[in-house]
């Protein structure tokens, strides 16, 4: 009987103690917080790119519950400075949208970005040809993967040209002739931003002088005289009202009909033209202007934008999963459409094709690139260097407004190029 006493005593004491201490829990383990890998992802662009990219990130997070993506984004203007800060401070986002020229700038030996070949288990590289991947390769290391091909293209408000009885320009002089007709109403035949202007002037320079701005190794070889030649053409464009001052240029003035054409990347075609097209305006892709007797077109094609992974990422697998989603997934392809150009990735292309999304002005512009493959040159990355194109544009202002002589400005630009 004593055993029974002891049994009940111990049992009661145990129940009391457990009850009072709250240990009679149904769960053995209490999970306070689940572990989530956090990665960062950066890009530049306008509203629509921001919105669909963030929607894509949401979709990615839904598919990968254990990965949380922090987004870092901004507009293009000033973004090079941002990227430079990331790189110099060694605080690069895990996954980055990068410019073609940044590969050479930040990874001359191929060690500046993560070698994506090492993450081939997570990134489906079979969607790209060897040649396509070669744009992102440095010393056999895959630093970045191109999203689409891109080229500066001229988009015309044909209704406006028709209004003035003008044919769409096919030569450089056609623009000057159009300006003579349109300037009475304060309308410019063409408008463009700083980088487009630089490429526009380079093309004119190449066509009319037969010189190339770069040597076969991709080094800039423009002389002071070459720069003076380019400056004169630029000043003529401004003085004869072919283009508005680039400081005043914004895509909105093309929409407002203050310029009858705009020069922009294929990847920006929808952004620049969609509002006009929505309003029923006839917007069309124009031919590349050609000078009489020109031997080269001086017009360039390049990977539109590329995705890269930081060399210092702590989560390469998670970063690679995001990279693969951005490049190859149907979800992202349908969100992105042709905003960055016609996707190179086979699976992304097929997704758009299946949904009949391969249309619009960017597709037309892309077709023009395909039609002129043999006349177009692959972009020399040095031409996209901010010191080069912004150096030219910013310094030239002193010449345009007669604050310095042609020689002084050319000399300043020359120093900017080579120092």
Partner 1 sequence: MNNKTKKTTDKTKLQVMRLKWQIIIVFAGVMVAVTILLAVIIAQRAGETMQMKTASLISNNTSQQVMNVDNYLQKIKTATSLFFSEEIYYTYDATSDELDEFEKIQRENAIVNRIQDLGVLENYEDFAVVYANNHTVGWASDSTYKIFADGDIYEGLNERISKEANDAGWFSDDLDEYRNLYYAKRLNKNAILFVSFYRREIESVFEVPDDMQGNLTIRLVNEDSTVLYSTDKSEIGVTLNREISSLIDGSTDNVILNSDYLITSNRCSTNRWSVVCTIPTDVIMKEMYEVKTFIYFISFIMFFLMLVFGIVILSRVSDPMNKIISSLTDKAEHDQLTGLLNKVSFENIISALMQKGTGNEVDVFVMIDMDNFKTVNDTMGHETGDKVLMRISTLIKKHFDAEAISGRLGGDEFAVFFRFTDDDRTGVRTTMQKKMQTFKEAFNEEFADEAESCSLSLSAGVAITGQGEMGFEQIYKSADTALYKSKKSGKNRITFY
Binding site for partner 1 (CB under 8 A): 1, 4-5, 8, 11-12, 15-16, 19, 24, 33-34, 46-48, 50-51, 54, 70-75, 77-78, 81-82, 85, 245, 247-248, 250, 252, 256, 271, 394, 397-398, 400-401, 403
Pick between residue 135 and residue 272 the one whose CB is nearest to partner 1: 272
Pick between residue 71 and residue 120 the one whose CB is nearest to partner 1: 71
**CA proximity to 190, closest of 168, 213, 163:** 168
CB of 29 to partner 1, least distance (A): 15
CB of 367 to partner 1, least distance (A): 26
DSSP reduced 3-state for 7: helix
Question: For residues 367 and 353, what is the distance between their CA atoms, to the nearest angstrom?
Answer: 15
**CA proximity to 328, closest of 63, 32, 11:** 63
Length of the chain counted residue by residue: 419
Pick between residue 13 and residue 378 the one whose CB is nearest to partner 1: 13
The gap from C-alpha 290 to its chain's centroid, in whole angstroms, comes to 26
CB of 204 to partner 1, least distance (A): 23
Pick between residue 50 and residue 104 the one whose CB is nearest to partner 1: 50
Pick between residue 347 and residue 394 the one whose CB is nearest to partner 1: 394
CB of 86 to partner 1, least distance (A): 8
Those residues with Cβ within 8 angstroms of residue 270's Cβ, 6 or more apart along the chain or in another chain:
48, 337, 338, 339, 360, 361, 362
Question: For residues 17 and 22, what is the distance between their CA atoms, to the nearest angstrom?
Answer: 8
Pick between residue 5 and residue 419 the one whose CB is nearest to partner 1: 5
DSSP reduced 3-state for 67: strand
Pick between residue 135 and residue 198 the one whose CB is nearest to partner 1: 198
DSSP reduced 3-state for 99: coil
Sign of torsion, CA 417 194 244 294?
Answer: positive
Pick between residue 246 and residue 376 the one whose CB is nearest to partner 1: 246
Residue 330 exposed, middle or buried by CB count within 10 Å (0-12, 13-18, 19+):
middle
Question: For residues 326 and 94, what is the distance between their CA atoms, to the nearest angstrom?
Answer: 13
Cite the beta strand spans of 280-394 per DSSP E: 283-285, 300-303, 306-309, 377-378
CB of 152 to partner 1, least distance (A): 21
CB of 344 to partner 1, least distance (A): 26
CB of 153 to partner 1, least distance (A): 20
What count of Cα atoms within 13 Å lies in the side-chain half-sphere of residue 34? 6
CB of 79 to partner 1, least distance (A): 9
């Amino acid at each position: 009987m004593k055993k029974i006493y002891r049994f009940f005593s111990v049992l009661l004491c145990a129940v009391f103690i457990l009850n009072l201490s709250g240990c009679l829990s149904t769960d053995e383990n209490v999970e306070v917080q689940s572990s989530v890998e956090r990665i960062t992802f950066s890009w530049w662009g306008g509203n629509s790119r921001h919105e669909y990219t963030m929607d894509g990130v949401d979709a990615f997070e839904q598919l990968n519950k254990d990965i949380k993506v922090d987004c870092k984004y901004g507009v293009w203007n000033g973004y090079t400075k941002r990227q430079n800060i990331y790189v110099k401070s060694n605080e690069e986002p895990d996954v980055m949208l990068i410019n073609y020229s940044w590969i050479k700038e930040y990874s001359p030996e191929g060690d500046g970005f993560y070698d994506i070949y090492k993450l081939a288990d997570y990134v489906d590289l079979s969607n790209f040809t060897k040649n396509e991947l070669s744009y992102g390769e440095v010393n056999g290391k895959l630093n970045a993967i191109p999203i689409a091909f891109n080229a500066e293209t001229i988009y015309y408000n044909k209704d406006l040209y028709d209004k003035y009885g003008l044919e769409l320009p096919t030569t450089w002089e056609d623009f000057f002739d159009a300006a003579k007709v349109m300037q009475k109403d304060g309308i410019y035949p063409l408008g463009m931003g700083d980088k487009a202007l630089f490429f526009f002037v380079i093309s004119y320079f190449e066509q009319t002088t037969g010189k190339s701005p770069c040597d076969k190794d991709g080094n800039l070889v423009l002389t002071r005289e070459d720069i003076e030649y380019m400056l004169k053409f630029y000043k003529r464009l401004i003085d004869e009202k072919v283009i508005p001052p680039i400081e005043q240029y914004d895509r909105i003035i093309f929409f407002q009909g203050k310029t009858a054409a705009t020069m922009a990347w294929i990847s920006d075609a929808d952004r620049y033209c969609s509002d006009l097209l929505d309003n029923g305006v006839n917007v069309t892709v124009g031919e590349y202007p050609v000078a009489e007797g020109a031997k080269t077109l001086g017009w360039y094609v390049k990977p539109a934008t590329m995705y890269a992974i930081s060399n210092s990422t702590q989560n390469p697998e998670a970063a690679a999963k995001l990279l693969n989603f951005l490049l190859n997934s149907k979800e992202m392809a349908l969100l992105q459409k042709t905003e960055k150009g016609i996707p190179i990735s086979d699976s992304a292309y097929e997704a758009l094709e299946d949904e009949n999304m391969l249309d619009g002005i960017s597709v037309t512009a892309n077709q023009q690139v395909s039609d002129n493959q043999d006349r177009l040159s692959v972009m020399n990355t040095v031409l996209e260097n901010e010191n080069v194109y912004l150096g030219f544009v910013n310094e030239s202002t002193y010449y345009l407004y007669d604050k310095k002589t042609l020689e002084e400005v050319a000399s300043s630009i020359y120093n900017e190029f080579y120092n």
